[in-house]
Amino acid sequence: MWHDVKALNATASGMVALSVLACAAAGVWWLANRPVFDLRAIRVETMDKSEFKHVNHLTLRNGTQGRIVGNFFTANLEQVRQVFEAVPWVRRASVRREWPDQLIVSLEEHEALGTWGEDGRLLSVKGDVFTANLAEAEEDHELPEFSGPDGSEKEVLARYGELKQWFAPASLEPKAVSLSSRYAWTVKLDNGASVALGREATHDTLRQRVDRLVRIWPQIAARVPNIETIDMRYQNGLALSAAGLKIPADTKKH
């Protein structure tokens, strides 16, 4: 090789090229880290241009302070996005650079529908479970209670919407919807009664059971005050309990 002039020239040219690239990279890195490119502002806006209800300057500052590093060029936008999505009430964030010295952060805020489980978490209108100040959510409206196995949040949310429609003809409204680990449904109504609907054997099992209860509800309500529980898991009837009243259960429920 040492006697091959062409090989030596090629090697030398390669080394020179590498040196030039290394110098150029070092120059770019040095220039990109100059104070002139420091971030001067982070502008926050809503994705749909509406007003925030719960996200505010204080929660954003407390949730992001000291966690965003780098300047206009070196800030990791994915990392910045994750920092903002960890702020309470933030559902989703997107981040972009705006020349010469700021980041634009667009946020989507959670809208709480009710509580989820027994540990103080919230369920959003889109079926997301998140953690935020429960008292703040209660300021918006009364919170229905939801629970179910992990991963069933959107199913429970969809069922809640159906149950509201099904019970509406009897002027009843679900205030709690629960799906057990065996996938049996229980609904607590706004009159305090808890209705056991059981498992969904077919696509319309629950609808049929609710319709049956709605049809006879006026007679039941007129004759039995202070109803506590109603069990609709029977082929052709129901069982109920009320304060001071107990009706023996049948054995043909499903």
Task: Label residue 25 by pLDDT band (50, 70, 90).
Answer: very low
- In this structure, of 10-19, 165-174, 197-206, the range with the lowest mean pLDDT score is 10-19
Measured distance CA(136)–CA(2) in Å, rounded:
78
pLDDT at 71 > cutoff 80: yes
> ω before 144 within 30° of 0 (cis)?
no
pLDDT, tens digit (0-9, with 9 covering 90-100), for 103-162: 999 999 999 999 999 999 999 999 999 999 999 999 999 999 999 999 999 999 999 999
Three-class HEC string of 187-211: EEECCCCEEEEEECCCCCHHHHHHH
Measured distance CA(133)–CA(120) in Å, rounded:
9
Measured distance CA(165)–CA(168) in Å, rounded:
5
pLDDT at 252 > cutoff 80: no
pLDDT of residue 82: 97
pLDDT of residue 32: 44
- Which tokens in the block code for residue 156? 């429970």
Measured distance CA(121)–CA(127) in Å, rounded:
12
Report the pLDDT averaged over residues 20-47.
61
Q: Which residues of 213-230 are buried (b: 16+ CB within 10 A; e: fewer)?
A: bbeebeebeeeeeebeeb
- In this structure, of 31-35, 57-61, 192-196, the range with the lowest mean pLDDT score is 31-35
User: pTM (2 decimals)?
Assistant: 0.80
Alpha-helix runs per DSSP H in 109-228: 134-140, 153-167, 205-223
pLDDT of residue 97: 95
Measured distance CA(210)–CA(202) in Å, rounded:
14
Task: Label residue 240 by pLDDT band (50, 70, 90).
Answer: very high
Report the pLDDT averaged over residues 180-202.
97
pLDDT of residue 33: 47
- Cβ atoms of 106 and 45 within 8 Å: the answer is yes
pLDDT of residue 13: 53
pLDDT of residue 26: 42
Report the pLDDT averaged over residues 188-204.
96
pLDDT at 98 > cutoff 80: yes
